[in-house]
Structure 1
Amino acid sequence: MKPIFQDLVYRARDTQTDKIVALKKVQMDKEKDGIPISSLWEITLLLKLWHPNIMELKEVVMGNHLESIFLVMGYCEQDLARCPFLRLRYGWIVPVKCIILQVLKGLQYLHENFFIHSRDLKVCNLLMTDKGCVKIVDFGLARAHGVPLKPMTPKVVTLWRKSLMQEIHVPDSLPRAVGCILTELLAHMPLLPGMKTSGQHVLQPYNNLKHKFPWLSEAGLRLLNILFMYDPKKRRTAGDCLESSYFKEKPLPCEPELMPTFSHHRNKRTAPSGVESPGKR
């Protein structure tokens, strides 16, 4: 399944600090009236936020042309959608727990500041540094929300999310997005890999999570049921999920700095100072 769009991201070196940064190019191909509203919103939002698990925006720079605008962000060595150690058959539960804990902490921070990421939170929106710190990225569809919660237009881009995310409050859809991420990391494949929109709305009439993950502990199954449950009277927040007994039973999640990393594979390539190498995320 090909993605609808890809962000062009360059690996570059800051000549003043000598640190590696990421340059995310603002897509201007079809714009005639300036910077796209999604990019403006992403810039505005990231300038207001700071959290270890939220991608930081350092500055906005312009290239040789007006169409060459880049967001200067922190550099992450690994894309979790293509991370080698998550495809191992044994011993991957410890890092998976560490990843989900960090995602929940980032979402908790967003919600406490009355922001939501989007309904398209997914594995490829998660990057990781060589120190094991997971960063939530891609805030072009993020929104502010208030109290009481109000329905918002469903901006679901990924086909595999549509059956779970539509026609409910956006904040309520985020635990389901985390549930999809957790199941994908555990099973090494998407939970609902439909090939077209119509097929995505044919769901199982019963809960088959226990059959899908027979090796998962009772605490793990309870967490999945909480994440996928939708009941306005029993709304669960990211903070509630952080208290799950799944993260307190063995095997315990490791500390981020103990996460396995493979940064040396990407750092083998050398290039002159300045922009070092482009990549697509």
Structure 2
Amino acid sequence: MDVRYGKGKCRSVRDFEILQKIGEGTYGTVYRARDKKSSELVALKQMRVHNAKEGLPWTAVREIRLLKSLSHPNIVKLKEIAVGSDMGSIYLVFEYCDHDVANLLDRMNKPFSTAEIKSMMIQLLRALHHLHERFTIHRDVKLANLLLMQDGTVKLADFGLAREYGTPAPAYTETVVTLWYRAPEILFGAESYSGAVDMWACGCILGEFLYHAPIMPGKNEADQANLICNLLGTPNARIWPDVVRLRGWKNFDLPRNEYSNLRVRFKLESDRCLDLLQRLLAFDPQRRLTAAEALLHPYFFEIPRPMPAKYPAEASRAIRSPPPAHSHSHQGQGGGLKGFGGSGVGLSQQIPFVGGGRKLIPYGFHAHGASSRGSGAERGHERLKGLTSNGNGRAKEERKEGKQECGPIGGAGRGKGKGGG
């Protein structure tokens, strides 16, 4: 069979020694394997083909096309395609990655440090910025789809649900994004959406890193909506004008809560950290931070500075088993596809560089317009009805380290695409 990838023929899957099954996701099963010719460890993703006569499903073709077009140190790299004895056996060959972050976090006695969290978040944001500038939405950003290399490099993986978008925005399916990371516009039935849905998921991941547990682990859509409102307050037309136009808005019996409880949940975190979290979890997708804006947020420039995750080299962090009840790796996630990725660049220089982005609101003012300073009670419950972020403003207590003030951070102009607002 003459199946071609790029300019050459596809290799046979017999050229690889399958060592073990390491994951299963929406559109395939992943195996750890060794290239018999080079002895290199790789990850083989066997694509699901329900009807061999019809060939690859369009979802697989879309994923392959997207992966071929993407080249970024924080995005999983597709090396080649291998084939079995018939068209029902198609394998994507990825560089092997050491860990998936969800499984790792489930089994760590000691959570990641603030510096490590910053490093991983910066890398995730860089990957999303790269995607969104190319008008692509991942649509399944979650902890189980983040892979971690021994050198601390993070890779965003599993593009089975990724879609390109443009203007006008086409109608998309609502059954995307794992429930715990699903943006409210999708939950409430929006027929079209942008990269902002990835940014909401990014906020959920930041909260999960900080809280060392999923922050909104809903059992179903109604429970998910309640958890969102209990943590962030109940949205209304003042803070999210378009919410009343969403057909699913009235389908939920939402609690009457006009307060955000982020400060209560994350009482050890710095003002800047809470500000970033609040802006990523903004209800209105038009006011939610883009990846470019988030990379320029002052949180990443305060002490401690970002540094690569030392786990798994750090022996002091014991592995515990089994995972806790609300584990990061089961999350109603459909199973993350761990194991594929590659040896990315080192992170000795942790500067959150992006090619564009807008100027952020100067630090000291939250999206609701009030100073981030104030009494504990004032900061404990930020009233949602005061949210007045404008177009330009979409923009831990450190446990052992001191704080360092930094000046206004912004960027001139914008890159050649939207970061996801």
TM-score by length of 2: 0.57
Task: Give the Å deviation of 1:226.
Answer: 0.7
Aligned to 2:333: none
Aligned to 2:203: 179
* AA in 2 matched with 1:115: T
**Matching of residues 48-197 of structure 1 within 5 Å:** 48-84=69-105, 87-89=108-110, 92-118=113-139, 120-147=140-167, 149=169, 152-162=172-182, 164-166=184-186, 167=190, 169-197=193-221
Aligned to 2:59: 38
More helix by share: 1
Distance in 1 of aligned mates of 2:288 and 2:221: 27
Q: Which moved more, 1:167-176 or 1:37-46?
A: 167-176
* AA in 2 matched with 1:239: A
Aligned to 1:270: none
Task: Give the Å deviation of 1:4.
Answer: 7.8
Q: Which moved more, 1:12-21 or 1:74-83?
A: 12-21
Distance in 2 of aligned mates of 1:141 and 1:75: 21
Distance 1:225 1:125, change over 3 A: same
Does the CA contact (< 8 Å) of 1:219 and 1:245 recur in 2? yes
**Matching of residues 234-273 of structure 1 within 5 Å:** 234-254=287-307, 256=308, 259-261=310-312
* AA in 1 matched with 2:59: S
Aligned to 1:10: 31
Q: Deviations over 1:23-55 (max 9, x none)?
A: 011012467622122111110000011000111
Distance in 2 of aligned mates of 1:139 and 1:4: 11
Distance in 1 of aligned mates of 2:122 and 2:70: 19
Task: Give the Å deviation of 1:129.
Answer: 1.7
Does the CA contact (< 8 Å) of 1:86 and 1:92 recur in 2? no
Task: Give the Å deviation of 1:7.
Answer: 4.0
Q: Deviations over 1:136-156 (max 9, x none)?
A: 111111111224555633332
Does the CA contact (< 8 Å) of 1:156 and 1:165 recur in 2? no
Task: Give the Å deviation of 1:91.
Answer: 5.6
Aligned to 1:207: 260
Distance in 1 of aligned mates of 2:104 and 2:79: 25
TM-score by length of 1: 0.83
* AA in 1 matched with 2:184: L
Q: Deviations over 1:210-246 (max 9, x none)?
A: 0000000000000001101144653521010001111
- RMSD across aligned positions (CA): 2.8
Distance in 2 of aligned mates of 1:184 and 1:262: 22
Distance in 2 of aligned mates of 1:198 and 1:30: 36
Does the CA contact (< 8 Å) of 2:25 and 2:337 recur in 1? no
Distance 1:141 1:232, change over 3 A: closer
Q: How many residues align?
A: 263
Give the gaps of 5 or more residues in structure 2: 1-23, 231-256, 316-335, 339-421
Give the secondary-structure state (helix, strand or coil) at the position aligned to 2:56.
coil
Distance in 2 of aligned mates of 1:253 and 1:85: 22
Does the CA contact (< 8 Å) of 2:181 and 2:201 recur in 1? yes
Give the gaps of 5 or more residues in structure 1: 265-278
Distance in 1 of aligned mates of 2:163 and 2:128: 13
Aligned to 1:225: 278
Give the secondary-structure state (helix, strand or coil) at the position aligned to 1:170.
coil
Distance in 1 of aligned mates of 2:74 and 2:34: 22
* AA in 1 matched with 2:222: S
Distance in 2 of aligned mates of 1:91 and 1:127: 15
Identity %: 38
Distance in 2 of aligned mates of 1:263 and 1:92: 12
Q: Determine which structure has more spread, i.e. the larger CA radius of gyration.
A: 2
